[in-house]
Amino acid sequence: MGGGRSKEGASRADFLAKLRGLSRATVAMNSSLTLAEVLQVVAEQARLVVGCHQSITSFTAGEDLSQAVNAISLSDKYAAWRTYDEKPDGTGIYRLVVEKNRPYRLTQEELESHPAFRGFSWAAARHPPMRGWLAVPIVDRRGENIGIIQLSDKFEGEFDEEDEQILVQLAQIAAVATDNARLYEAEKAGKKRAERSVKAREAFISIASHELRTPITTLGLQLDQIDLAIRKLPGGERFEPKLAVARRQLEKLNGLVTELVDVSRARAGRLDLQLEDVDLGEVAAEVVERMGEQAKLAGCAIALEAPAGIVGRWDRIRLDQVITNLLSNALKYGAGKPVKVAGSGDAAMAHLVVVDHGIGIAPEDQDRVFEPFERIKTMRAGGLGLGLWIVRQIVDRFGGRIRVESELGHGATFCVDIPRAGNPVDEDRVEPT
């Protein structure tokens, strides 16, 4: 009786040890991330859990069922063979496991007399000597074979039914870990590709925008000279309207290129600020004055409600850009209705509000419009979708905030709050130009 209980006790202990081995394997496989690592962990854990001297794990790599991706784990008994790197070539008894997609368990005698094993003799001289064979396929979710785990030379006795079942479990864990590793590797590769394409795009924008500058400047000078020349021609005035169109188009082109240059600068963290005392009302008045013609074309009356005297430590050109972009949007998307530019301030902050009564922005699009190259599809008006992004970059650099309040079809109100003291971070920063 006593003998029986101790035998049961021993097999329970054995069972527990194997269970622990399996759960250790699960953890190890799920934390090792590359395919090669997964394979190595499978080889090692399979040998330890079952308890044997040799383990070779491979992934089916080629159409020919060759097992080109391979990991090996050998006990000290076979230390001399640890450099063995012959890869199963997809013939012989490996092929059987892959094709039939089921486990094989053979004693050494059965192995040697197996017809599929005979072809192995060519590699046998370099292969660690075998003693019995247990091989199970690794099968993916669709039931297709993706590899094999093979064991040989059990510590004690022959491989049995229980070993086979344990190895089948391990192969299932290995299949999941393999899936995870594949996903992880694909995701990593995808991220790298995306990063490269963003870099390429940025480099392109930066180079293209600078290259466009030169011909635009030249073209402007040429237009000036043509202007002078036709003034001297009798009846030359009739060319004036055409010249005005050419100038407007050139200005538009210049504006677009400026946006691109700003984007590439802001992206590189080189949006340079030259802080000085600037009057918000004054700048707003300048912008409104400058955009008079555009407002007329858009059919929008502009109401300016920004008193002089709201002075802060800002960069004049960048502040001008903020107002210009917001006002240009208000005219573009304002449906010909009146537009308002208002400025106010308290001791610490200045507030700028640009209001239109045009097409408005749906709530779900309100965050998106501040992102680069984001435009709302239904738009017929031209543009790059950069204006608001640049505005937000500038406002950020001023240490301020921008938000939009809008309802689709009922106009939009853009509110900008900026500290009058400027952004202290920028005061002592020397900016390269």
Ligand X SMILES: Nc1ncnc2c1ncn2[C@@H]1O[C@H](COP(=O)(O)OP(=O)(O)OP(=O)(O)O)[C@@H](O)[C@H]1O
Strands (E), 236-310: 275-279, 302-305
Work out how close the CB of 387 gets to Mg ion at its nearest, in angstroms, rounded to a whole number. 3
306/351 Cα distance (integer angstroms): 10
Work out how close the CB of 212 gets to Mg ion at its nearest, in angstroms, rounded to a whole number. 19
The residue number whose beta carbon is nearest to Mg ion equals: 387
Under rule CB under 5 A, residue 387 binds Mg ion: yes
Under rule CB under 5 A, residue 321 binds Mg ion: no
CA 405 to chain centre: 30
What is the full DSSP assignment across 310-373?
A: -EEEEEHHHHHHHHHHHHHHHHHSSTT--EEEEEEE-SSEEEEEEE--SS---GGGTTGGGSTT
Work out how close the CB of 284 gets to ligand X at its nearest, in angstroms, rounded to a whole number. 17
- Comparison of 13 and 379: residue with beta carbon closer to ligand X: 379
| Stretch of residues binding Mg ion (CB under 5 A), selected from 24-32, 78-86, 127-135, 329-337 | 329-337
Work out how close the CB of 325 gets to Mg ion at its nearest, in angstroms, rounded to a whole number. 6
- Comparison of 79 and 381: residue with beta carbon closer to Mg ion: 381
3-state secondary structure of 199: helix
Positions touching ligand X (CB under 6 A) are 259, 325, 329-330, 332-333, 356, 358-361, 369, 374-376, 379, 383-389, 412
The number of CA neighbours under 13 Å toward the Cβ of 394 is 26
Under rule CB under 5 A, residue 358 binds Mg ion: no
Query: How many residues are given for the chain?
Result: 433
Work out how close the CB of 284 gets to Mg ion at its nearest, in angstroms, rounded to a whole number. 17
Work out how close the CB of 385 gets to ligand X at its nearest, in angstroms, rounded to a whole number. 4
β-partners of residue 402 are 416
- Comparison of 48 and 335: residue with beta carbon closer to ligand X: 335
- Comparison of 59 and 333: residue with beta carbon closer to Mg ion: 333
CA torsion 426-428-430-433 (nearest 10°) is 30
423/212 Cα distance (integer angstroms): 32
Work out what residue 389 binds among Mg ion, ligand X, none; the CB cut-off runs from 5 to 8 Å by kind: ligand X
Tokens representing residue 410 in the block: 């009922």
- Tokens 């689709």 — which residue? 408
Q: Which of 178, 209, 321, 329 binds Mg ion (CB under 5 A)?
A: 329
- Comparison of 39 and 257: residue with beta carbon closer to Mg ion: 257
Work out what residue 97 binds among ligand X, Mg ion, none; the CB cut-off runs from 5 to 8 Å by kind: none
